[in-house]
Amino acid sequence: MTTDPRMMADKGDAPEGETGVITKTRPRTQRPPLYKVLLLNDDYTPMEFVVHVLERFFGMTHAQAFELMLVVHKKGVAVVGVFSFEVAETKVAQVMDFARRHQHPLQCTMEKE
């Protein structure tokens, strides 16, 4: 029997070459927050003006724009698109400015998704 540590049998705590602190981290993918652009109903803005806004600033066909305008008209509000903060901000400003220039009370807002 030996007492020399170099001669003692492996106690089997862990397989050789696999000791040490685990340092690997899962890559955390950061997605930018998205913002919904909402169009609100009112009693005065002409339906055709709203349809034009949706075609002009949201790239919808006349049929898509008419359909969504009717959703806003009936339900009071609808999401017209989802964008990055900067794009959403620009769309809201474009719609609000266009409505103001035509003296319509149309309201467009954004909220974080």
Q: What's the CA gap between 61 and 104, in Å, rounded?
A: 22
In the complex, minimum distance from the CB of residue 69 to ligand TYC, in angstroms, rounded to a whole number = 5
Output 70 or 87, the one with its CB closest to ligand TYC: 70
Output 59 or 86, the one with its CB closest to ligand TYC: 59
Rounded to the nearest 10 degrees, the angle between the axes of helix 47-58 and helix 62-75 is 120
In the complex, minimum distance from the CB of residue 26 to ligand TYC, in angstroms, rounded to a whole number = 44
Output 41 or 64, the one with its CB closest to ligand TYC: 41
Tokens 């602190």 identify what position?
Answer: 21
List phi, psi (to 5°) of 48: -65, -30
In Å, how far are 20, 29, 32, 94 from 50, measured between CA atoms? Answer: 65, 38, 29, 13
In the complex, minimum distance from the CB of residue 25 to ligand TYC, in angstroms, rounded to a whole number = 47
In the complex, minimum distance from the CB of residue 66 to ligand TYC, in angstroms, rounded to a whole number = 10
Tokens 């981290």 identify what position?
Answer: 25
Q: Which residues bind ligand TYC (CB under 6 A)?
A: 39-43, 45-47, 50, 69, 72-73, 106
Output 14 or 56, the one with its CB closest to ligand TYC: 56
Using alpha carbons only, how large is the chain's radius of gyration in Å? 30
